[in-house]
């Protein structure tokens, strides 16, 4: 399988990456009550979350934090 990056060209604007919960807009936009918290590995393949099983470990990372991002949704709506 070949995973090629997506390139978007819009009249002189180049967008390299449109990630999760992101937009490309050319007009006024209002977003209310948006919440996104993702732990993600962007190597070859994709592993999301804390308890992801690794069957063929290729590299080793020392991560001394017990929790990388404690997040709480605080809504105004």
Residues 45 and 57 sit within 8 Å (Cβ to Cβ): no
Cβ 75 vs Cβ 64: under 8 Å: no
Note whether 21 and 14 are within 8 A (CB).
Answer: no
> How far apart (Å, rounded) are the C-alpha atoms in residues 75 and 77?
6
For the chain, the domains span 33-61
Question: pLDDT 10s per residue in the chain (77 long)?
Answer: 555 666 777 777 777 767 766 777 777 877 777 776 666 656 666 666 666 676 666 676 777 776 766 777 777 76
pLDDT value for 49: 63
pLDDT at residue 6 in the model: 67
Give Dmax (Cα) for the chain: 46
pTM greater than 0.85? no
pLDDT at site 4: 65
Distance of CA 74 to the CA centre of its chain: 20
**Tokens at 60, concatenated:** 């080793």
What is the pLDDT, as a whole number, of residue 63?
72
What pLDDT score does 31 carry?
73
């Amino acid at each position: 399988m070949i995973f090629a990056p997506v390139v978007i060209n819009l009249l002189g604007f180049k967008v390299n990456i449109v990630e999760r919960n992101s937009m490309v807009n050319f007009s006024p936009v209002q977003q209310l009550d948006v919440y996104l918290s993702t732990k993600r590995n962007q190597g070859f393949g994709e592993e999301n979350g804390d308890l992801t099983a690794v069957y063929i470990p290729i590299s080793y990372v020392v991560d001394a934090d017990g929790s990388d991002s404690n997040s709480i949704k605080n809504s105004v709506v």
